[in-house]
Amino acid sequence: MPEIGVNGVSLYYEERGSGDPILCIHGTGSSAAPWRESVDRLAKHGRAIAYDRRGCFRSERPEPYVTNVGQHADDAAALIDALDASPAIVIGRSYGGATAVDLALRYPDRVRALALLEPALLAMTDEAARWASGIAARVLAAAERDTTTVGETFLRAVAGDDAWDALSQEAKVMYAGNGPAIVAEFRGGYLDVGPDQLGTIARPTLVVAGKESPPAFAEVTRIVAEAIPGSRLEWVGGGHLIDPAHPIALAFVDEVRGRLVDR
């Protein structure tokens, strides 16, 4: 399995395709594994790189494991450097979207463009923060009972029962094993940024929301799209688990790559 050391941990990664780099950052409880088919499609549009964030699935999980969004953004920047993939088109979903935002704010030279799939910037409004606190309480209570149930508890709460039931057995095993990572991410808190900070992002940005997602995500996604200059908001069918290779995302990648060719 391809692994690379960054910031004192070993990260599992995969890359397919060639050309302009596209970095894929998964959400809480997940990994590069559920993105496999999406990465195959993205690889037809550039050099698609997907990895398991620290603490998740095939990447190293330090013990004791304490983390936050900033640490994951630091890892993403270091991974981009290590793979000579700068600047990258960055696609982030949920917690991965928050990581992508922090990456763009603190490492703008590593980012060519952003595709944010319902970024989990849930500290942006009181309503979203209250909703997230309720999810956190359920996750932490599950951890007290049995850490292997945390992944199921989390995904059912965020994406719905149907999303959990539709997972393959392999994916359910992954979520079960990622229980400690999910707990650490909740304890680490959400990225605390506001519209003024988002307004400094000067990269082409696509923001995507699911029509059937929890209202908290819809509200935050709208605010993010309004705050980032020149960003485009698109609504797609389904819930929170938006396909990173959705046709809207692929068209955005091609648009950005066209800009590169034109320069």
pLDDT tens-digit series, residues 177-191: 999 999 999 999 999
Q: Is residue 236 part of a domain?
A: yes
Q: Is residue 140 part of a domain?
A: no
CATH number of the domain residue 222 falls in: 3.40.50.1820
Going by pLDDT thresholds of 50, 70 and 90, the confidence category of residue 95 is very high
Question: Alpha-carbon Rg of the chain, whole angstroms?
Answer: 17
Q: HSE (CB half, 13 Å, CA atoms) of 215?
A: 5
Q: How many domains does the chain have?
A: 1
Contact indicator for 91, 99 with CB cutoff of 8 Å: no
The CB density around residue 203, as the number of other CB atoms within 10 Å, is 18
Is the model's pLDDT at 36 over the cut of 90?
A: yes
Q: Is residue 212 part of a domain?
A: yes
Q: Is residue 186 part of a domain?
A: no
**pTM of the shown model:** 0.97
pLDDT, mean of residues 154-160: 96
Contact indicator for 49, 83 with CB cutoff of 8 Å: yes
Q: Is residue 54 part of a domain?
A: yes
Q: Is residue 53 part of a domain?
A: yes
The answer for residues whose C-beta is within 8 angstroms of residue 141's C-beta and 6 or more apart is none
Q: Is residue 63 part of a domain?
A: yes
Q: Is residue 79 part of a domain?
A: yes
Going by pLDDT thresholds of 50, 70 and 90, the confidence category of residue 98 is very high
> Among candidates 47, 158, 164, which has minimal Cα distance to 93?
158
What six digits make up the tokens of 200?
């400094």
Q: What pLDDT is recorded for position 1?
A: 65
Q: What pLDDT is recorded for position 262?
A: 39
Give me the domain span that covers residue 252.
3-124+191-256
The answer for residues whose C-beta is within 8 angstroms of residue 80's C-beta and 6 or more apart is 21, 23, 86, 87, 88, 107, 110
Contact indicator for 58, 31 with CB cutoff of 8 Å: yes
Is the model's pLDDT at 107 over the cut of 60?
A: yes
pLDDT, mean of residues 162-175: 96
pLDDT, mean of residues 5-15: 98
